[in-house]
């Protein structure tokens, strides 16, 4: 994007990635991910999941999540962007807010640590790999966290 540094552009794209999930925008999500080539394919680890390889499987998983999510909200903290040539890694903590279970009232929250690896292509930066994993806190810490909301 004109007038933006690589880091500004990458952090805007990283936000757009989470916003695409929040708003159930599969077109935008598709646009953000790289196209597979012979040597290099899209890769994605959802928290608690094994690795998904290949654009088709990765986008199918996002479509599935979007279809099964009534509401989700991400607040990103600890965002850090580092470059090495045409590869960039954006790391962040996702504070994820979803509706509480059927027998509960309000919202449930969880922390996920993510590393998002982007590649510079002719069309701009694209997401090569998303790796998200649960931060397993002590239960009393999670409860203290919930009371603050």
- Determine the angle formed by the axes of helices 55-67 and 6-22, rounding to 10 degrees: 50
The correct pick among 65, 98, 133, 142 for binding a copy of itself (CB under 8 A) is 133
Question: Does the protein bind a copy of itself through residue 75 (CB under 8 A)?
Answer: no
The correct pick among 29, 41, 90, 96 for binding a copy of itself (CB under 8 A) is 41
The correct pick among 2, 3, 27, 50 for binding a copy of itself (CB under 8 A) is 50
Rank residues 23 and 121 by Cβ distance to a copy of itself and give the closer one.
Answer: 121
The 10 Å CB-count burial string (b at 16+, else e) for 25-56 is: beeebeebbbeeeeeebbbbbbbeeeebeebe
Please give the order of strands across the beta sheet that includes 124-134: 52-53, 43-45, 124-134, 107-121, 87-99, 73-84
Contacting positions for a copy of itself (CB under 8 A)? 39-41, 43, 45, 47-51, 53, 78, 80, 82-87, 89, 91, 93, 111, 113, 115, 117, 119, 128-129, 131-136
């Amino acid at each position: 994007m004109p007038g933006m540094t690589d880091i500004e552009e990458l952090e805007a794209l990283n936000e757009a990635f989470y916003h695409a999930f929040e708003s159930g925008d599969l077109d935008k999500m598709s646009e953000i991910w790289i196209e597979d080539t012979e040597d290099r394919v899209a890769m994605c680890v959802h928290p608690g999941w094994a690795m998904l390889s290949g654009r088709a499987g990765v986008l199918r998983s996002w479509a599935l999540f979007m279809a099964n999510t009534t509401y989700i909200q991400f607040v990103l903290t600890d965002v850090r962007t580092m470059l090495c040539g045409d590869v960039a890694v954006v790391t962040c903590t996702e504070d994820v807010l979803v509706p509480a279970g059927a027998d509960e009232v309000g919202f449930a929250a969880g922390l996920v640590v993510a590393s998002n690896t982007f590649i510079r292509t002719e069309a701009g930066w694209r997401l090569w790999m998303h790796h998200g994993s649960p931060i397993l806190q002590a239960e009393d810490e999670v409860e203290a966290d919930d009371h603050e909301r």
